[in-house]
Protein backbone atom coordinates (compact mmCIF):
# COMPACT_ATOMS: atom_id res chain seq x y z
CA UNK A 1 0.00 0.00 0.00
CA UNK A 2 2.90 2.35 0.73
CA UNK A 3 4.23 1.67 -2.76
CA UNK A 4 0.88 2.68 -4.21
CA UNK A 5 0.69 5.87 -2.11
CA UNK A 6 4.19 6.81 -3.21
CA UNK A 7 3.27 6.11 -6.84
CA UNK A 8 0.12 8.26 -6.61
CA UNK A 9 1.99 11.14 -4.96
CA UNK A 10 4.91 11.00 -7.37
CA UNK A 11 2.68 11.19 -10.44
CA UNK A 12 0.07 13.56 -8.96
CA UNK A 13 -3.01 11.58 -9.92
CA UNK A 14 -6.31 13.45 -9.51
CA UNK A 15 -8.17 12.69 -6.29
CA UNK A 16 -11.04 10.74 -7.88
CA UNK A 17 -8.70 8.36 -9.71
CA UNK A 18 -6.42 8.13 -6.64
CA UNK A 19 -9.38 7.09 -4.52
CA UNK A 20 -10.37 4.37 -7.00
CA UNK A 21 -6.80 3.07 -7.07
CA UNK A 22 -6.53 2.99 -3.27
CA UNK A 23 -9.88 1.25 -2.85
CA UNK A 24 -9.02 -1.37 -5.41
CA UNK A 25 -5.62 -1.99 -3.84
CA UNK A 26 -7.05 -2.24 -0.33
CA UNK A 27 -9.55 -4.90 -1.36
CA UNK A 28 -7.25 -6.88 -3.65
CA UNK A 29 -3.60 -6.90 -2.65
CA UNK A 30 -1.66 -8.43 0.19
CA UNK A 31 0.33 -6.08 2.40
CA UNK A 32 3.78 -6.73 0.87
CA UNK A 33 5.32 -4.21 -1.50
CA UNK A 34 4.40 -4.46 -5.18
CA UNK A 35 6.51 -3.29 -8.09
CA UNK A 36 4.96 -0.52 -10.18
CA UNK A 37 4.69 -2.61 -13.35
CA UNK A 38 2.96 -5.42 -11.50
CA UNK A 39 0.80 -2.90 -9.68
CA UNK A 40 -0.51 -1.43 -12.92
CA UNK A 41 -1.10 -4.80 -14.55
CA UNK A 42 -3.36 -5.81 -11.68
CA UNK A 43 -5.90 -3.06 -12.35
CA UNK A 44 -9.05 -3.70 -14.42
CA UNK A 45 -8.80 -2.45 -18.00
CA UNK A 46 -10.91 0.69 -17.52
CA UNK A 47 -8.86 1.89 -14.53
CA UNK A 48 -5.61 0.83 -16.22
CA UNK A 49 -6.51 2.97 -19.24
CA UNK A 50 -7.27 6.01 -17.07
CA UNK A 51 -3.95 5.61 -15.27
CA UNK A 52 -2.07 5.55 -18.57
CA UNK A 53 -3.99 8.55 -19.91
CA UNK A 54 -2.92 10.47 -16.81
CA UNK A 55 0.68 9.25 -16.77
CA UNK A 56 1.26 10.12 -20.40
CA UNK A 57 -0.88 13.24 -20.69
CA UNK A 58 2.27 15.27 -21.42
CA UNK A 59 2.79 13.56 -24.77
CA UNK A 60 -0.92 13.05 -25.52
CA UNK A 61 -1.56 16.79 -25.01
CA UNK A 62 0.74 17.61 -27.91
CA UNK A 63 -1.11 19.29 -30.82
CA UNK A 64 -0.20 16.19 -32.82
CA UNK A 65 -2.62 14.00 -30.85
CA UNK A 66 -5.32 16.54 -29.95
CA UNK A 67 -7.38 15.85 -33.08
CA UNK A 68 -7.76 12.26 -31.95
CA UNK A 69 -10.93 11.44 -30.03
CA UNK A 70 -11.11 9.63 -26.68
CA UNK A 71 -10.84 6.21 -28.33
CA UNK A 72 -7.67 7.19 -30.18
CA UNK A 73 -6.04 8.62 -27.05
CA UNK A 74 -7.00 5.59 -24.99
CA UNK A 75 -5.39 3.23 -27.51
CA UNK A 76 -2.29 5.40 -27.82
CA UNK A 77 -1.85 5.73 -24.04
CA UNK A 78 -1.67 1.97 -23.61
CA UNK A 79 1.38 1.84 -25.88
CA UNK A 80 3.48 4.65 -24.40
CA UNK A 81 6.54 3.55 -22.44
CA UNK A 82 8.97 5.42 -20.18
CA UNK A 83 12.74 5.13 -20.02
CA UNK A 84 15.31 6.91 -17.86
CA UNK A 85 18.89 7.54 -18.90
CA UNK A 86 22.07 8.70 -17.18
CA UNK A 87 24.35 11.55 -18.19
CA UNK A 88 26.58 10.49 -21.06
CA UNK A 89 24.41 7.60 -22.22
CA UNK A 90 23.72 7.38 -25.94
CA UNK A 91 19.97 7.37 -26.50
CA UNK A 92 20.22 6.40 -30.16
CA UNK A 93 23.20 5.82 -32.44
CA UNK A 94 23.61 7.09 -35.97
CA UNK A 95 22.62 4.27 -38.30
CA UNK A 96 20.32 2.63 -35.73
CA UNK A 97 16.80 1.69 -36.81
CA UNK A 98 14.26 4.11 -35.32
CA UNK A 99 11.39 2.21 -33.72
CA UNK A 100 9.40 4.92 -31.94
CA UNK A 101 8.31 8.52 -31.66
CA UNK A 102 9.91 10.00 -28.56
CA UNK A 103 9.28 12.99 -26.33
CA UNK A 104 11.71 14.30 -23.72
CA UNK A 105 9.82 14.43 -20.43
CA UNK A 106 12.68 15.80 -18.32
CA UNK A 107 16.36 16.50 -18.86
CA UNK A 108 17.88 16.87 -22.31
CA UNK A 109 19.41 15.10 -25.29
CA UNK A 110 22.22 16.64 -27.31
CA UNK A 111 22.32 16.64 -31.10
CA UNK A 112 25.62 16.32 -33.01
CA UNK A 113 25.65 20.09 -33.68
CA UNK A 114 25.40 20.84 -29.96
CA UNK A 115 21.72 21.81 -29.94
CA UNK A 116 19.61 20.35 -27.14
CA UNK A 117 16.24 18.63 -27.19
CA UNK A 118 14.73 19.70 -23.87
CA UNK A 119 11.52 18.88 -21.99
CA UNK A 120 8.55 18.64 -24.33
CA UNK A 121 10.65 18.12 -27.48
CA UNK A 122 9.11 15.56 -29.83
CA UNK A 123 11.51 13.68 -32.08
CA UNK A 124 11.64 10.58 -34.23
CA UNK A 125 10.31 9.95 -37.71
CA UNK A 126 7.07 9.83 -39.69
CA UNK A 127 8.24 6.78 -41.66
CA UNK A 128 6.19 3.78 -40.51
CA UNK A 129 6.28 1.15 -43.22
CA UNK A 130 10.01 0.81 -43.83
CA UNK A 131 12.84 0.51 -41.35
CA UNK A 132 13.91 4.17 -40.89
CA UNK A 133 17.51 4.74 -39.86
CA UNK A 134 18.70 7.59 -37.65
CA UNK A 135 21.07 10.10 -39.19
CA UNK A 136 22.05 11.38 -35.72
CA UNK A 137 23.60 10.13 -32.52
CA UNK A 138 21.70 11.59 -29.55
CA UNK A 139 23.52 11.77 -26.22
CA UNK A 140 22.00 12.26 -22.78
CA UNK A 141 22.95 15.47 -20.98
CA UNK A 142 22.54 15.48 -17.19
CA UNK A 143 20.17 12.53 -17.19
CA UNK A 144 16.74 12.45 -18.82
CA UNK A 145 13.38 10.71 -18.95
CA UNK A 146 11.83 9.93 -22.32
CA UNK A 147 8.28 8.90 -23.25
CA UNK A 148 8.18 6.66 -26.32
CA UNK A 149 5.38 5.47 -28.59
CA UNK A 150 6.42 2.54 -30.76
CA UNK A 151 5.91 2.99 -34.50
CA UNK A 152 4.46 -0.51 -34.73
CA UNK A 153 1.78 0.26 -32.13
CA UNK A 154 1.16 3.69 -33.64
CA UNK A 155 0.65 2.13 -37.06
CA UNK A 156 -1.97 -0.23 -35.63
CA UNK A 157 -3.87 2.72 -34.16
CA UNK A 158 -3.59 4.61 -37.45
CA UNK A 159 -5.00 1.61 -39.30
CA UNK A 160 -7.94 1.49 -36.87
CA UNK A 161 -8.69 5.20 -37.36
CA UNK A 162 -7.65 6.00 -40.97
CA UNK A 163 -9.35 9.40 -41.15
CA UNK A 164 -7.49 10.58 -38.07
CA UNK A 165 -4.38 9.05 -39.62
CA UNK A 166 -4.34 11.53 -42.48
CA UNK A 167 -4.69 14.44 -40.04
CA UNK A 168 -2.01 12.93 -37.83
CA UNK A 169 0.64 12.83 -40.55
CA UNK A 170 -0.09 16.38 -41.66
CA UNK A 171 0.18 17.56 -38.06
CA UNK A 172 3.32 15.48 -37.49
CA UNK A 173 5.13 17.41 -40.19
CA UNK A 174 4.47 20.59 -38.17
CA UNK A 175 4.73 19.23 -34.62
CA UNK A 176 7.87 17.10 -34.90
CA UNK A 177 10.65 19.15 -33.29
CA UNK A 178 13.44 17.04 -34.75
CA UNK A 179 13.19 14.47 -37.54
CA UNK A 180 16.09 12.07 -37.11
CA UNK A 181 15.27 10.38 -40.45
CA UNK A 182 14.42 13.33 -42.70
CA UNK A 183 12.84 12.58 -46.07
CA UNK A 184 10.08 14.12 -48.15
CA UNK A 185 6.58 13.13 -47.07
CA UNK A 186 5.05 13.27 -50.56
CA UNK A 187 5.49 9.55 -51.20
CA UNK A 188 3.91 8.72 -47.86
CA UNK A 189 0.80 10.78 -48.53
CA UNK A 190 0.35 9.12 -51.94
CA UNK A 191 0.72 5.66 -50.39
CA UNK A 192 -1.47 6.36 -47.36
CA UNK A 193 -4.22 7.98 -49.43
CA UNK A 194 -4.29 4.87 -51.63
CA UNK A 195 -4.53 2.57 -48.61
CA UNK A 196 -7.42 4.61 -47.13
CA UNK A 197 -9.26 4.60 -50.45
CA UNK A 198 -8.83 0.84 -50.89
CA UNK A 199 -9.91 0.19 -47.28
Q: Which domains are delineated in the chain?
A: 2-55 (no CATH), 58-198 (2.60.120.10)
Q: Cα separation of 13 and 54, whole Å?
A: 7
Better-scored residue on pLDDT, 37 or 116 = 116
pLDDT score for 36: 57
Confidence of residue 29 (pLDDT cuts 50, 70, 90): low
Percentage of the chain lying above the pLDDT 90 cut = 49
Q: Please, what is the average pLDDT of the chain? A: 84
Confidence of residue 41 (pLDDT cuts 50, 70, 90): confident
Q: Cα separation of 40 and 11, whole Å?
A: 13
- The per-residue pLDDT for range 169-198, each reduced to its tens digit, is 888 888 999 999 876 444 444 444 444 444
- The per-residue pLDDT for range 91-146, each reduced to its tens digit, is 999 999 999 999 999 999 999 999 999 999 999 987 776 788 999 999 999 889 99
pLDDT score for 67: 86
Confidence of residue 22 (pLDDT cuts 50, 70, 90): confident
pLDDT score for 147: 94
Average pLDDT over residues 5-30: 80
- Percent of the chain that is helix, strand, coil (3-state, to 5): 45, 20, 30
Percentage of the chain lying above the pLDDT 70 cut = 83
Amino acid sequence: MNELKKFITEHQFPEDLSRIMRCYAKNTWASQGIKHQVLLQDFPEDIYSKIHLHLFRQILDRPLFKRGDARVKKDLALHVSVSTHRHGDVFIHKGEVVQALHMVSSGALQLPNGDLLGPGALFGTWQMRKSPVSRDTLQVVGGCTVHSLSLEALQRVLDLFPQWGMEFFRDLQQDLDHDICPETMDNFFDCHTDSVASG
